[in-house]
Amino acid sequence: MTGSGSSEPSGADALREATDSLRESEERFRTLAGQVARLREAGRRKDEFLATLAHELRNPLAPIVNGLELLRAGGDDPALRARVLEILERQTAHLVRLIDDLLDVSRITRGKVELRTREVELASVIASAIEASRPRLDGAGHELAVDLPGEPVPLRADPDRLAQVFSNLLDNAAKYTPPGGRVGLAAELDGGEVEVRVTDTGPGLEPELRDRIFEMFVQGPNDAVGRGGLGVGLTVVRSLVELHGGRVAAESGGPGRGSTFTVRLPVSNRAAAEAPARPA
């Protein structure tokens, strides 16, 4: 009787051990399958990025080569020289921007980005960003609406890097908004922070893309080779905002309803003390 009674717990223990082992094996398999899926997705995005990079680098090279040929053939014509030089300057600036984006991504992934912070005002940073993005906005015929606080908003920031943040967001809005659209940039003090919103009337974001849009090599909605950009601008935005002690988020009402990118940054102690908290 005693032997018979002791065999049942032993069998139950063995069953539990086998069940636990099976559960652990299933969990390891799911983890491994998830890792494989992520590696495949990363590889696919990298392949798309390389294809886009090749296309983006080739695009400005064609008019540069053609411009040089025109200068060689008719370099004595002042009007022709002026037109060709304008094309060369514009396409060279595009190449420089692409290379700067690549260098920024390299610095970010290696943790080599250094900020040169000082006291600056938000309005001057925004003005620099708009100046950098104006050609793309005007080229697409977009209306730009700017609404900034009436009082100065002092920040402790790297003005060049922070202008790059807002310029990238404006460029992104201009790129994905159909010609003749509307791009908005508005800022509002909220206690110890300033909230800056960049809105557009573009195609909007699917929920799954909204959550991944700041990841490396992720392209925007309905993106295609030749649309412009490398899919790294928003990654740079997130990294630079976080280096400034802020945060950034993307929102959209869904396909066809535009997008809103919101940057929240800490303001200086003086501004934080004087600004009331925004009602919830």
Chain-centroid distance, C-alpha 190 = 24
User: Which of 245-270 are b and which e, b meaning 16 or more Cβ less than 10 Å from the residue's Cβ?
Assistant: ebebebebeeeeebbbbbbbbbbbee
In order of 117, 219, 229, 232, the CA distances from 52 in angstroms are: 34, 10, 8, 11
pLDDT of residue 14: 76
The structure's pTM equals: 0.69
| Contact yes or no for 174/133 (Cβ under 8 A) | yes
**Residue 85 CB partners (closer than 8 Å, separation 6+):** 67
**Residue matched to tokens 């309803």:** 257
Domains of the chain: 1-112 (1.10.287.130), 118-274 (3.30.565.10)
* Full pLDDT tens readout for the chain, 280 residues: 444 445 455 777 777 887 878 888 778 878 877 777 777 777 776 776 677 677 777 888 888 998 888 888 876 788 888 888 888 988 888 788 788 878 887 887 788 888 999 999 999 999 999 999 998 899 899 999 999 999 999 999 999 999 999 999 999 999 899 999 999 999 999 989 999 999 999 999 888 787 788 887 776 665 433 455 567 889 889 999 999 999 999 999 888 889 999 999 999 875 444 555 555 4
